[in-house]
Structure 1
Amino acid sequence: MQEQIKNIIFDLGDVIINIDVPLAARSFAELCGQEEAEVIELFREKDLFRQFETGELDEAAFRSYVRQILKKEDWDDATINKAWNTLLLDIPPARIELLQKLRERYNLFLLSNTSPIHITEVNAILEKASGVPRLDELFNKLFLSYEMGVMKPDHAIYLKVLEEAGIKAEETLFLDDNAANIQAASELGIHTIHVQKPTTILDYLKDYVA
């Protein structure tokens, strides 16, 4: 397979940056004095994450909706942003170095289900870890769900990436930690690697920089 590959598409969370998704709901629960499970159910019932990560809600509308759902109209923007960003942990510098080496040989792309608040914070974490100020300096192009209006594992998002990047599925490798996202890409003929902790992209891609 490796001989065919000209392009590598990376997921963001738990592929490049370490994350702990429940931390966001836990943070909101602690702030509003509710149970974590109750907050998770409220967010799920109101379809909050999908709406934000497909761009149906912009940043201001997202924060307004959080205040409404949790009945905390007095929360300021910074409080909500901080709680939302708690799930973002660290970016090991070795992963950044790997991306820089890979880009000498391959076209690199990022494909993430994400939100503008998270991307702003990821850029801050990236700069602190490596001195690289923005994700788009590591990739040929970023494909972000909130800008595209569609999320993984919808086939449409992969087809958009292939078309807009001008690349072929059979020459492309996709790495993601979510099995459904991997399955959807495979169905379109994209080569895939299911990233599963504790194994990291340093292990999965070591032969690609040898």
Structure 2
Amino acid sequence: MIKTIIFDFGDVFINLDKTATADAFSKLKTSSSQAFITQINELYETGMITTEEFFTHYSTIYPELTSFLIKDAWNAILLDFPTHRLNFLQQLAISKQYKLILLSNTNELHIDWIKKNISHYQAFKSCFDQFYLSHEINLRKPTADIFNFVLSKNQILPDETIFIDDTKEHINTAASLGIHTWNIDPKKEDITTLFATKSDLF
């Protein structure tokens, strides 16, 4: 019996254009390796470097860019947050049938953009019993550590928990720990169909 639902944020609630940031930067020539860029991004997502340090690193890669242009390209991934998904979540929160947890790989720049541009962000956040952002807890999916942190911190059992994420790698780690999963396809599926799609668990 499911007692806890753990949700990802991007492409579960807020729509993303996952190629937009890479496309924005790819138009510029750089001699830096993709591995180095990925390392900087992961450090930022786990809160190991500050936003200013993030800008400094990117300025060494793209010296022609100002901090404003870097931020603009970085936030290009973020799109809209359909209200029907918020309505679904609010009804779920009102029912109090499940513990609701958000578990998102994100960073300060993205959250700042969301706070400024998504009018119902605070209403969204208030629906959750726990709200975990990778840069605040210094852990990042798909490591097992982040899932063990959530399970332990909330005293929840894997077989009474479902985790919903659009990234297969994240799903695989959760499943390996005994957590039920839904690898949602944002192009074909919507979070509002959770109970119909996973009717065998509810």
Alignment TM-score > 0.5, same fold:
yes
Q: Cα offset for 1:192? A: 0.6
Find the counterpart in structure 2 of residue 45 from structure 1: 36
| Aligned alpha-carbon RMSD (Å) | 2.3
C-alpha deviation, 1:169, in angstroms? 1.4
Matched letter for residue 140 of structure 2: M
Question: Among 47, 62, 65, which residue is 1:70 paired with?
Answer: 62
TM-superposed CA distance for 1:187, in Å, is 1.0
Alignment map for 1:129-168 (pairs within 5 Å): 131-133=120-122, 135-168=124-157
Corresponding residue of 2:72: 82
Tell me by how many angstroms 1:118 deviates.
0.7
Structure 1 unaligned regions, length at least 5: none
Q: Equivalents in 2 of 1:42, 1:134: separation in Å?
A: 40
Amino acid at match of 1:124: K
CA contact (8 A) 1:54 1:147 kept: yes
After TM superposition, give the deviation of residue 29 of structure 1 in Å: 4.0
User: How much identity, in percent, do the aligned residues show?
Assistant: 33
Identify if the C-alpha distance between structure 1 residues 147 and 75 changes in structure 2 by more than 3 Å, giving closer, same or farther.
same
Unaligned runs of 5+ in 2: none
| Aligned-partner SS, 1:80 | helix
- Separation in 1, partners of 2:140, 2:170: 10
Which of residues 114, 120, 123 in structure 2 aligns to 1:122? 114
Q: Is the 8 A contact 1:9 1:111 kept in 2?
A: yes
Q: 1:55 to 1:132 in 2, by over 3 A?
A: closer
Alpha-carbon distance in 1 for matches of 2:11, 2:18 = 10
Distance 1:101 1:202, change over 3 A: same
Out of 46, 51, 54, the position equivalent to 1:59 is 51
Q: How far 1:135 sits from its partner (Å)?
A: 4.3
Equivalence for 2:99: 107
Amino acid in structure 2 at the alignment position of 1:50: E
- For 1:90-105, list aligned pairs within 5 A: 90-103=80-93, 104=95, 105=97
Deviation at 1:109, TM superposition (A): 0.8
- Tell me the equivalent position of 1:175: 164
How far has the Cα of 1:123 moved from its partner? Answer: 2.7
In structure 2, what is the equivalent of residue 22 of structure 1?
19
Offset at residue 97 of structure 1 (A): 0.6
Alignment check: 8 A CA contact 2:114 2:121 kept:
no
When the two structures are aligned, how many residues end up with a matched partner? 196
What is the aligned counterpart of 2:4 among 4, 7, 10?
Answer: 7
